Amino acid sequence: MRAWTLSTALAVSLLGCTAAAQEAAFERFRYAGSDPENSAPLEPGQYRNPILQGFHPDPSITRAGDDYYLVTSTFAYFPGIPVFHSRDLVNWTQVGNAIDRPDQLDFGTLGLSRGVFAPAIEHHDGTFWILNTCVDCGDNFLVTATDPAGPWSDPVWLPDLAGGIDPSLFFDSDGSAWILNNGPPEGEPRYDGHRAIWIQRFDPVAKRTFGPRTVLVDGGVEPETNPIWIEGPHLIRRGEWVYLICAEGGTAEGHSQVVLRARSPEGPFEPWEGNPILTQRDLPRDRTHPITSAGHADFVELPDGSWWATFLAVRPYEGDFYNTGRETFLMPVDWSGEWPVITRPGEVIPYAAARPGLPDAGPGPEPTSGAFEIEETFDAPLGPQWMMMRNPRETWSRVQEGRLVLAARPVGLGDNGNPSFLARRQQHQNAVAETTLSAPPTRLGDRFGFAALQSDDYWHAISVVRTARGPRVELRSRTGADQPADGVLIADAPLEAEGPVRFRFTAVGDRYTAAWAPGDAAWRTLADDIDGRTLSTRTAGGFVGAVFGPFAQSQAD
């Protein structure tokens, strides 16, 4: 497989490079997290949910022989659409990103929760296919690769699907290929959230749709109840039946998965009277350590004939508040009857359960589930887990001699642009993230720091800024679009020395602490009761989760 790095992506198709910018050097990055509900030792033969912690929504899975590949949404983060590999469905390694060249898609100044939604991956005759929607940036497209680690092709656009989202590809047993997607219903929508599932033939050689487009589902499995947001469709053939699985009910606590079936991909499809086949909306809201908002599932068949589902769900720390975003979970699919079932009424999604019947492949190079710690010493190119806000249009980062070097540019965290900011996901409710800045800025107004960020409008940032009074350590926060783009000053302190400065954020549920330290001195708290709910989806909106990372910003020239 091709070794992918962030440095590789930034070296391809960039339009220029930053000249004469002051640079910030960060010596290390450390992240550690542990949550009580999913950190206890496992029993022999068990796996742990979620299998991909932190912001990894809309999972889609495919099998190629003994290998399994999974993709998730990244919206307007770059690189986009992470590709994970596993041989046992439990231990996963990110092998690349399908959108890793700045000229593949243009996120421009899109909101961070726009961009690439709900990718669907399939493997057929030696080729991997990913179908996706670039919301507000080009509509529906596909990319292909022979190696899932990349390189992936440039997008091939699918104009017949205009106005729709969530395309997926189905290769039937007779050799025919079909694309289905969520789209507007025929005629005027009857209510807010009224959508339909459409299908059309697909030519995999020409890579285009053809023939009539047909509505498979109008509204949902019980149209008389005005169901909302039927989406994320996938077709599965099992014997003489073709099963259509879809998400329904929106992506919040009413989320669910439903199933219909027909003799042909073109229908007519009948819904199962036992729907939904996956949900947690029927459980008490005050239960301990809840998992909520479950849906958007995809199925995969194992060599032994068993079926498993990946799907998204969330782990709130209070009510519907969560900062880790929508995560990827795994459960078996029960085919003991004629219809597939993931959870039965009242059944709780488990944090620990019996593993699939596959040989244990052992942990990958980085953990993705349970309690863990990660430390980056910047002695090798950055891995594919690192992300930036939107496409880069100039080279502003590099790894050099054990340091991550960022060019200070006049683009801030709240500017709806591509700031000099590289980040990794918050993957636990209880987490610590820290980094070390080699030296403070020397140019007046320049700011080097460390941020906990949910979007352009919601973030907290510790930084050293060069002022007329000398260097100072500041905590600035932005908690809404009505606040200044550079945030509001919450606390500050003088920096007495010009040497290294450490930054640290500690999250405990909805409370964050911001701290700093000069050199190897003891930590000093800037604020210890920051309202972390400002980084939650409930407050900040959108579909992303919180991230941590270093940044560098200069004053405009």
SS3 101: coil
The Cα–Cα gap between 458 and 35 comes to: 24
Contacts of 407 (CB under 8 A, 6+ apart): 18, 21, 22, 23, 396, 397, 420, 552
Radius of gyration of the chain (CA): 23
User: Which amino acid would we find at residue 431?
Assistant: A
DSSP 485-548: TT-EEEEEEE---SS-EEEEEEEETTEEEEEEEETTSPPEEEEEEEEGGGGSHHHH-SS---EE
For residue 462, give Cα distances in angstroms to 54, 342, 413, 448, 526.
22, 44, 12, 9, 9
SS3 378: coil
User: Which amino acid would we find at residue 229?
Assistant: W
The catalytic site residues sit at 58, 231
CA geometry: angle 98, 102, 106, nearest 5 deg: 95
Contacts of 132 (CB under 8 A, 6+ apart): 81, 116, 117, 118, 119, 120, 140, 141, 142, 143, 167
The Cα–Cα gap between 421 and 401 comes to: 19
For residue 179, give Cα distances in angstroms to 170, 195, 309.
6, 17, 21
For residue 25, give Cα distances in angstroms to 397, 407, 448, 480, 524.
10, 9, 9, 30, 21
- Strands 420-421 and 547-553, bridge-based pairing: antiparallel
The Cα–Cα gap between 120 and 297 comes to: 11
- Strands 470-479 and 488-494, bridge-based pairing: antiparallel
Among residues 167, 179, 79, 62, the alpha carbon closest in space to that of 118 is found at 167
- What are the respective helix, strand and coil percentages of the chain, to the nearest 5? 5, 45, 50
The secondary structure of residue 423, as a DSSP letter, is: B
Number of Cα atoms under 13 Å in the Cβ half of residue 158: 33
Q: Which residue has the tokens 């989406």?
A: 231
User: Which amino acid would we find at residue 123?
Assistant: H
Q: What are phi and psi of 60, to 5 degrees?
A: -130, 140
Q: If 0-12 CB within 10 Å is exposed, 13-18 middle and 19+ buried, where does residue 244 land?
A: buried
Token pair of 217 as six digits: 């589902």
Q: What are phi and psi of 184, to 5 degrees?
A: -60, 150
Q: How many other C-beta atoms are found inside a 10 Å radius of the C-beta of residue 369?
A: 22
